[in-house]
A and B are shown apart, each in its own frame.
Chain A
Amino acid sequence: MKDDNSRQWDEQEEPAPTEEELREAQAFASKVDLLLADDDVGPPDELTAAARMIRASVHEERLGEQRRDELIEQAMRRTLAQPLQAPRGRTRRLAPVLALAASLVLVLAAALLVWRGGPAGRHAEVPRQMISRGSDDLMGRPFEDRAGASGRLDLVYADRLSGYRQVLLARGTP
């Protein structure tokens, strides 16, 4: 359609449209008609997207219940199915072998630790005066009249402090 109303254009600020621009403007106007009628506007283009941005900012365009449920289902299937998938191919066949090998390594490591005299063996090498005594040796069974938590803690603390000083002043030597 030719725009013959050239008086409506201020040539200084807005040049009159060319034939090509008129055609593009008319095609865009048709897309806007579809957009405002909530119809399919066809393949997306950037101008129509901009028009939809403007319109969607003031006029809520709903997704539709069915489409919404489909998208939720797709998202859930994509995320929740993954951990439930069984291992495939070579990994699946090798899984029992790998588990057995891991168990054997653990058993061998434990045996080596015992043979080399692990933590229990090394415990014996600590000087006797550096090992805390049990509090039962110090105060015996907690009879009712001596069972106050505060008194027992004071006693244990004083004993530990005394032992600590002894070790510190003797530099850990007997």
Chain B
Amino acid sequence: MSRAQAGDREALRLLLGRHSDALYSRVILPRAGDTTVAEDVLKETMVTAIEKLSTFRWQGRSIYFWLRQIAVNKVIDHHRATGRSGKLAQAIAGEPEPAILPTRETLPEAALIAEEERRINAERIGATLEQINPRYRRAIELRLIEELPREECAKRLEVTVGTFDVLLFRAVRAFRRAFGERDVEE
């Protein structure tokens, strides 16, 4: 860390490499939803981190939390800049930070962070799913969370595959609306 702060490029590359996967897959993509946008946000996060690295002060826990905050702010900026309703940006801004006790950077801490991020993501999705029609919720759970084939999903809901496709289409549209996105045309 101190080597990276002193401008050692290799140390900086290692530091960013160590945390970029977690930032992309657990923090940025679940909040951005688009891989191209998520990659841009990750790059902007790293640019800001490099520019402000000298201001980082060790406070007894991983630098991941500092990087994570930058990433979350960048996602919020993206949603605001692209005209999404403020509700989504506010929802993300109001999320809790992973509740991990301060420790040294160790593997057990990384595992705890991953577990906590999964919990936060699941909570965010779960809270939104609670707001939509139970049949739509079930369609999303079967297809996008359990990742079952369409035929199996249709069988479990006792509908045809064509009906299931419509259910999932309506379900994701309802989810999106409940999640604070722009309204889509009916």
Which A residues form the contact surface with B (CB < 8 A)? 1-5, 8-9, 13-14, 17, 21-22, 24-26, 28-29, 32-33, 36, 44, 46-63, 67-69, 71-72, 74-76, 78-80
- Of all chain B residues, which has the CB nearest A60? B25
Chain B residue numbers with a CB within 8 Å of A32 are: 143-144, 168
- Of all chain A residues, which has the CB nearest B184? A46
Q: Is B30 touching A56 in the complex (CB atoms < 8 A)? A: yes
Most A CB atoms within 10 A — which of B7, B17, B165? B165
Q: CA of A68 to CA of B42 in the docked complex: distance in angstroms?
A: 9
Q: Is B29 touching A69 in the complex (CB atoms < 8 A)? A: no
Chain B residue numbers with a CB within 8 Å of A69 are: 17
B110 at interface, CB cutoff 8 A: no
Chain A residue numbers with a CB within 8 Å of B26 are: 60
Q: Is B16 touching A75 in the complex (CB atoms < 8 A)? A: yes
Chain A residue numbers with a CB within 8 Å of B46 are: 71-72, 75-76
Q: CA of A75 to CA of B176 in the docked complex: distance in angstroms?
A: 32
Chain B residue numbers with a CB within 8 Å of A4 are: 160
Chain A residue numbers with a CB within 8 Å of B21 are: 62-63, 68
Can you identify 28 A-B contacts, CB atoms within 8 angstroms? A4-B160, A8-B158, A25-B168, A28-B172, A36-B143, A44-B37, A46-B184, A47-B169, A48-B34, A49-B34, A50-B173, A50-B179, A52-B33, A53-B30, A54-B144, A54-B175, A58-B125, A58-B145, A62-B24, A62-B25, A63-B42, A68-B21, A71-B39, A72-B20, A74-B43, A75-B16, A76-B9, A79-B51
Inter-chain contact count A-B, CB under 8 Å? 162
Q: Besides the contacts A60-B26, A61-B35, what 18 more A-B pairs have beta carbons closer than 8 Å?
A: A3-B160, A5-B159, A14-B133, A14-B170, A28-B172, A33-B150, A36-B143, A50-B172, A50-B173, A51-B144, A52-B29, A55-B144, A58-B121, A63-B20, A75-B43, A76-B50, A80-B7, A80-B50
